[in-house]
Every structure is written in structure tokens, then in C-alpha cells.
A and B are shown apart, each in its own frame.
Chain A
Amino acid sequence: MFSRADVERIARLARLELTNDEKDLYARQLADILEYAAQVQAVDTADVAPTALGVTGTAEWREDRVAPSLPRDEVLRAAPAADLAAGLFKVPRVLGS
């Protein structure tokens, strides 16, 4: 049901680098799990609205008020690479090279 190429396509969507062993393992296991999960498809759900949250109809409007946010330096300090003085996270070069 799942080829190596299928697994690679999903992994690319999920931004996951997988080893070849992982690809083979997941191809097998995802097929098993989906075969089991497919039993939901036999249920008649005509005119049944989907449930998206555990408890519905509770969201309310609130005023848009300014409130303190997290201290920038502390947030940046938790990053693998950041420039505190500039207030920026650092990532590999994105433009040009």
C-alpha cells in the first residue's frame, strides 16, 4: 500500500529526514495503521457535521488590548543561534550564495 516513494513524499511534506531503514519501517507500519483506521470509512456519516473541538460553541469575542509579551532577549537566548543585539534568530543563508 505504501511504496518507498510514497513515504519519501510524505516525509518531504513533513520536512523529516529519514534513514532508509526508517522509510521501510514506516512504509509497513503506516499501511497497517491505515488499514485498521479505514474502518471509519464504512460508517454512514451523511448529514453529520464534523466535530473539531472537544467542547463547541464556547469561543467569545474580546477586546483587542495591548498586553506585555515575553522578554525578547530571554526568548532569543533559548534559540540554537541568535543575534541578541540585532534581535534576530539566525538561520542558514536563504538568499543568494
Chain B
Amino acid sequence: MNAAGIREGIAQGKTSAVEVCRRSLDRIDAAAALHAFQHVDRDGALARATDLDARRQELTRAPLAGVPIALKDNMCTTGAPTTACSRILEGYRPPYDATVVRRLRDAGAVIVGKTVCDEFAMGSSTENSAFGGTKNPWALDRIPGGSSGGSAAAVAAGLVPIALGSDTGGSIRQPAALCGVVGLKPTYGRVSRYGLIAFASSLDQIGPLSQTVRDAALVMNVIAGHDPLDATSVDVDKPDYVAALTGDVRGLRIGVPRHLLRDGVEADVTAAFDRAIDTFRGAGAIVADVELPHASLAIPVYYLIATAEASSNLARYDGVRYGRRAPADTLTGMYERSRGRGFGPEVKRRIMLGTYVLSAGYYDAYYLKAQQVRTLIRRDYDRAFDRVDLVAMPTSPTPAFPLGERVADPLSMYLADVFTVAANLAGLPGISVTCGFSAARLPIGLQLMGRAFDESTVLRAADAYERETAWSRERPPHYWS
């Protein structure tokens, strides 16, 4: 099920938006055990599809006409609740659409529902959802990755061809890898975050998850671009990402940081990664070693910066303007109780950590220091990109781990992001595509990172790899076709 095919089928009159929408909704119902969706907008989606069918003639140019799309539940959507899978926002209905949602609607997409995520996108397994986590379609006793686990599982299981996720430290790429789908984190500033529930504002980006690289490019053509409503959105030229998919990687220079692959990476992952690099070499790419000397500091830097920003961003949940309030006699008591009861354990942990590193006496030692090391990490990539066009590494050091395995040990959960956080710290685009399977038949992801605003090269290489290999056509045992 891919968006390009659906759009063509509708345009040629072989199917209708209603038929496609109904099929997607039926699959979502049938796949209830995955718990990929936090909210399904059956009536709204069908009404929208009916309207699109009635206006078929005028929509021939709409790039996503009739394509069912799911949104991570941290993107404001009118007509549906938006909770970020947190009790503190239970029942919240935003009075506006996020810019990405508006752009998808303008492109003819049918929003079928909101997907499960870690609470406020904080997590790497989707187990931190306050309303229950998502299961991996490849093995129901495993996590789908996170925090966009519902979006990744929904695409992997064939429920929707495309879902949007957000990526603060790997939250699109890591679940994409663990569910065997494509996930792209664009350059910081490429896609508007207006209407995205903020987690860490210097790191957050929105991007697509899809079954094919072509669909990811199609979505980027719709959602990328300057937005005056997001002050960090950058006004630079937006290429045609679909046109960039030439299938040609001859002469493309790919850097591999071998020194990162020695410790802590499972053998199946390393083997699949090495084969992927061989595939690129065979297709005419030039492979070179690159050094990223500060890479081992990315996780501590990330967790200092992301928690500091989160503690500030989440100050707005005070029981006054939206969400849930816990009654108390005093205003301060109301704040404290609403937040204490409304936030889950991981969110509170991060607010506490972030408050501490920003507090008087610790700011320089932790937060400022982390920002300086962030500069060094960014410079490592600047230097690498003087010599190569892309940097390749595994997306995740392991395939999907069992549900519950890391819940009690936050640090072990944080280490799941070891290969993904650097792209956020340096603001660079990164994609994950499937590059093989473990002995237990769990998907393994290949990550390709590019220069700032060079999503075209990232997508071109990922698409070329997809054409050279058959991994993206493998389907999980829990798949609805």
C-alpha cells in the first residue's frame, strides 16, 4: 500500500477515496491488538473522502488526493483530540491545525487518526504512553521503538501508507528501523513545527514514515517549506524531492565512522550494515572512513539539553488553559497537583533533570557545557561533510527489544538513541531504511545522514538502495493487505 499508487488509482477512476479510506479504517479496526492508534476519526475521514470523490476533477493535481494519513498524537488537529499521550492533555481538542496538518489537507490527504507515542514524545519504546503502548507488528512481544512507535507500526502493518512522526533524538528514525519502514528526519528548520506540541525546541523536527522512499519524498514536497508561524523555519529553496530520485549513486561519497561500530552494536546489525555499504559500493558509490571524535558524548549532551528545554516547554501545563486540572485550595497547589498527577514517570523524571541542570549553580557545569560540546559534535560533522556527501551508520544498535526490558532502567533506554541523537544536535537530515533482518527476523535499519538542507541527496541514496535490494518489500507477520 503506497501513496503514489493510491493517488494514481483514484485519478484513473480504478478506485475512490471512500473505498481507500474504508479499507484503511477496516484494517485499523482489525489491527486493534497492535494499539497503534490513540484516536481514529472514522466519521471525519469518511466525510472528507466523500467530499474528495465529489471534487475529483478539481483534485487531479493534488499530490496526496485521497491518501489516508495518520498523525502522531503530538500534532494539533482540529476535529480530533490531541493528547501527546499524556493524562494532562486528556480530552484536549485544539482550536487549530498544525501547519503540517493544514498542508496535508490542502494536498488532498485524508487524516484517519492519531497514533500512539511516548508521552510528550519522551521515550524510545512507546511504552511511556499514558494510555498504553504499541506492539511491534514483527513480534507482538517487542517494542515498536519510539517515540513515534504508533506511526511506525501503523505503516509497517499496512494500516496507512504514510504517517507523520516527530524526531527530537531519533523518534522517527529509530521506530522506522525497528518496524522495518522508511523514516526521515528533515533538517532543523525545513518543516514547520507550528502546532507540534513542543518537547525540546532546538531539536524537534517533523517528518514522514512510509513504506517507500518515494512516498517520503512525496510527503516532503507537501510539508517542507518556510512558515512565518514558526520562527525557526528557514526560507530556503525547496527542491522537488520526487524528481531527485534518479536511482543513481555513482560517484556519491559515503563516509562510515568505523570507530563507532566496535562496541555495543549487535552482530546481526553490524553484518547487515556492512552488506548495505557493499551494496552502495557495488552501485558505484565511493566509501570512505570518517572520524567523529565527539560521537560518544552525543547521548549525555542530548539528555542534558533535551531535558533542560523540556522542563521549560512543559511549564505551560499548569491546569489553567488546557487539559486536566487537579483541584486544590491555592493556585500554586493547583499547579503542583495538576502536574504531579497529570504527567507520567518519564516526563516527571525529565522535568526534574532539566530543572536541575538549569538551576542556579549548575547551569554552567551542565547546560552551558553541553551546548559547547554540542558545537564540537556539529564541527565533527562539518569536517566529515568536507570529504563526503553522506555519513552512514546503523539507525539502532539493536533490533526491537522485548516489551518491559528497559522500563526500570532509564539510562539503558536512553542508550537506544546512541546513533540518532547527533543528527538532532547538529540539525542535519537523516533517514532510516531497512537493510536486513536479525536471526529472529526483526528488521534492521540503515541510517544515512546528509548536509543541512540536502534531503535530496539523502532521499536519492535511500531510494537507490531500496531499488537495489528487496528488504522494503518484506512484510511482517501482522500485516493487513
A residues lining the B interface (CB < 8 Å): 7, 10-11, 13-18, 22, 25-26, 29-30, 32-34, 36-41, 43, 45, 48-55, 58-60, 62, 70-71, 74-75, 77-81, 89, 91-94
Contacts and interface: CB of A to CB of B under 8 A. Distances in A.
Contact of A92 (B93, B311, B329, B355): B329
22 contacts: A17-B336, A26-B349, A30-B349, A33-B303, A34-B353, A34-B356, A38-B300, A40-B304, A43-B376, A45-B372, A45-B373, A48-B372, A48-B373, A50-B371, A51-B371, A51-B425, A54-B202, A60-B235, A80-B324, A80-B325, A92-B330, A92-B334
B322 A79 contact: yes
Contacts of A16: 336, 339-340, 343, 348, 351-352
B83 interface: no
A29 B322 contact: no
Contacts of A40: 297, 300-301, 304, 366, 369-370, 373
A30 B359 CA distance: 14
A39 B297 contact: yes
Contacts of A79: 320-322
Contact of A37 (B318, B366, B424, B425): B366
Given A7-B352, A16-B336, A48-B372, A55 B325 contact: no
Interface in B363-391: 365-366, 368-376, 378
A15 B338 CA distance: 9
B325 A53 contact: no
Contacts of A70: 95-96
A15 B318 contact: yes
A16 B326 CA distance: 12
B349 A78 contact: no
A30 B351 CA distance: 11
B323 A80 contact: yes
A73 B341 CA distance: 27
Interface stretch (B120-128, B226-234, B248-256, B467-475): B226-234
Contacts of A25: 345
B271 interface: no
Contacts of B427: 53-55
B385 to A, nearest CB: 14
B138 interface: no
A-B complex: 10 closest residue pairs judged by Cβ atoms: A54-B427, A54-B188, A17-B340, A50-B371, A80-B325, A45-B372, A74-B95, A17-B336, A37-B300, A14-B355
A27 to B, nearest CB: 10
B375 A80 contact: no
A73 to B, nearest CB: 9
B63 to A, nearest CB: 26
A41 B297 CA distance: 10
Contacts of B158: none
Contacts of B149: none
A35 B359 CA distance: 17
Contacts of A45: 369, 372-373, 375-376
